[in-house]
Structure 1
Amino acid sequence: MNDAGTAVTTDPTLGEVLLAAEELWPASLAEKWDAVGLVAGRTSKPVQKILLGVDPTSAVVDEALEWGADLLVTHHPLLLRPVNSVAATSFKGDVVHRLIEGGCGLLTVHTNGDSSVGGVSDVLADALGLQDVQPLKQATAGLDEEGIGRYGDLAEATSLSDFAAKVFSILPAVAGGVRVAGEHDGIVRRVAVCGGAGDALFDEVRACSADVYVTADMRHHPASEAREAAADGRPYLIDVSHFGSEWLWLTPAAEALDNVLGDQGYAVDIRVSSINTDPWDFVLTPGAG
């Protein structure tokens, strides 16, 4: 029995898990260019074990299959662009074959997981202690609080260097670390964040009067132009690991999925992948030995 007194069964079907995922991360919130949803798996198959990860890499698939997972949920799509073949001679084809042969489904929760309440940027904003959080770019088909990116205010203003140290402290250790653009002692209060690559949102960042913008994969030209166009040096920029900024979401996502399935009378073993899928191994910096 669960806390509500409902009899618990251990085996929802994959189709029932998909309904729970849709409740949390509606596909309607995905960007038009995105590819979300079920990639592999029969909806009639019972599901006892679910693994969540950022990327559907070979190592993560190995982890899922070795554990005996019935479903792998990843943030990033395996097949974002159309393909003409899933032959096992390619990395992606091999992943598809191994998942099917191992009886493990694959579900992508990408920009719908970014935009939803409790999504990637909400988790990042919460980890940084932001208050009165609102979307940077509101979803066209969703609730007022849904959309890409978030912005909010710190409880107390702080220096850019201290805030950057806070950002560094909440993220997993990766080779690239954290890059900062701005005055070391500059004061920040309003913070904009976007998990994953967010350098297409500078107009929204300026519109919300953010003192600093935290995102990943900032390219040279957008970052340079943002600095040139900055008023009084703001928004300052903090560039983090793409993987790291989205990794924070996995544990809350696993807990949310477990709660929804539990409310429906199911008990499923849900885990977060232990594998760091940031693609970089080491970095050289000035003065490094």
Structure 2
Amino acid sequence: MTVRVQQVVEALEAAYPPELAEGWDSVGLAVGDPQTAVQRVVFCVDPVEATVDEAIGFGAQLLVAHHPLLLRGIHEVRADDPKGRLVHRLIRSGMALYCAHTSADSAVHGVSDALAAALGVTAERPLAPHAPGADTGLGRIGRLPAPEPFRDFVARVADQLPSTAWGVRGAGDPDREIRSVAVCGGSGDSNLAAATAAGVDAYVTADLRHHPAAEHAALAEVPGGRPPALVDVAHWASEWPWCQQAADIVSAALPDSVEVLVSTRRTDPWTLHAGAASDQGRASA
């Protein structure tokens, strides 16, 4: 049985409906012919030179990425522009590109479910549901099988996610008991208030900025304030578990004649990390 790109797209969109995508987002088939025959599909976070190289090396006919290649309006696709060059390479190699971004962020069993599962957290409901009682929305709230100190939980996160130069950072009392956890794959400081309102013990996300994190931590000084401890991870690392989840969904929906592979290329942009501070001490020159 010949499987076409369109059949893979249908399997992806059944799991990650495009209507769940944010209005500013760009999801769907970005490059390629829906009628191209498919024997091999590769899943990645970022559609960049490294993952396109890898997919071409695998002999894939379809690359499925979380992040969009062409998010904003374009007026030219030049081969001397980084993104234009990728489009040319994809077309020359006969490989299609499908992007599932915020559609996968908000779907049931989406990006944050995969992150929660990787950390051993049993997801129970969205952190920021699309509507009251909805099972779709950004982030997930769940529980660990048993409570553990915050220092151990931070170590758990570092052990279970792929290592990056960015590393894993924690903000909170190292001895605080952690049982209930909120997670949000990708940039999640816009949901700090939701995590606080949920009353969870810890919140795991990426790209936490200084001022929102500091203002969040200051809530602990307010009488009765108990904001969740924060765990900040690399954006790429927080979303990489989704690749295997999506690969499993496509594999289950299609005949065995289609091989699915997960990219092992680390496409986090940070390449070096120097220095570390474990104590809240005085800055020194």
Aligned counterpart, 2:113: 122
Within the alignment, does 1:235 sit opposite 2:228 as a pair? Answer: yes
Amino acid at match of 2:79: A
1:126 Cα deviation after fit:
1.8
Within the alignment, does 1:221 sit opposite 2:205 as a pair? Answer: no
1:46-84 CA distance string (max 9 Å, x none): 111111111011111111112221110000111111111
CA distance 1:125–1:286, shift in 2 (3 Å): closer
CA distance 1:155–1:20, shift in 2 (3 Å): same
Within the alignment, does 1:21 sit opposite 2:19 as a pair? Answer: no
Aligned-partner SS, 2:254: helix
Map of 1:99-138 to 2, 5 A cutoff? 99-131=90-122, 133-138=124-129
CA distance 1:143–1:119, shift in 2 (3 Å): farther
CA distance in 1, matches of 2:119, 2:127: 16
Aligned counterpart, 1:244: 237
Aligned counterpart, 1:186: 176
Aligned counterpart, 1:80: 71
Amino acid at match of 2:119: L
Deviating more after overlay: 232-241 vs 274-283: 232-241
Aligned counterpart, 1:205: 195
Aligned counterpart, 1:6: none
1:99 Cα deviation after fit:
0.2
1:132 Cα deviation after fit:
5.5
Amino acid at match of 2:203: Y
1:225-279 CA distance string (max 9 Å, x none): 11112454521100001111111111121011110113xxx62011011211011
CA distance 1:18–1:223, shift in 2 (3 Å): same
CA distance in 1, matches of 2:34, 2:119: 38
Aligned counterpart, 2:252: 259
Amino acid at match of 2:16: W
Amino acid at match of 1:147: G
CA distance in 2, matches of 1:113, 1:139: 14
Aligned counterpart, 2:141: 151
1:24 Cα deviation after fit:
1.1
Amino acid at match of 2:82: F
Aligned counterpart, 1:44: 35
CA distance in 1, matches of 2:208, 2:276: 20
Aligned-partner SS, 1:101: helix
CA distance in 2, matches of 1:201, 1:183: 21
Within the alignment, does 1:169 sit opposite 2:159 as a pair? Answer: yes
Aligned-partner SS, 2:186: strand
CA distance in 2, matches of 1:286, 1:101: 45
CA distance 1:286–1:251, shift in 2 (3 Å): closer
1:287 Cα deviation after fit:
7.2
CA distance in 2, matches of 1:260, 1:220: 43
Segments of structure 1 that go 5 or more residues without pairing to the other structure are: 1-8
Within the alignment, does 1:95 sit opposite 2:83 as a pair? Answer: no
Cα RMSD for the two superposed structures = 1.8
Paired residue total: 275
Segments of structure 2 that go 5 or more residues without pairing to the other structure are: 279-285
CA distance 1:216–1:261, shift in 2 (3 Å): same
Amino acid at match of 2:111: V
Amino acid at match of 2:134: D
1:170-215 CA distance string (max 9 Å, x none): 0001111101100111112211100111000012111211111100
Amino acid at match of 1:246: E
Deviating more after overlay: 209-218 vs 227-236: 227-236
1:155 Cα deviation after fit:
2.4
Aligned-partner SS, 2:272: coil
TM-score with structure 1 setting the length? 0.91
TM-score with structure 2 setting the length? 0.92
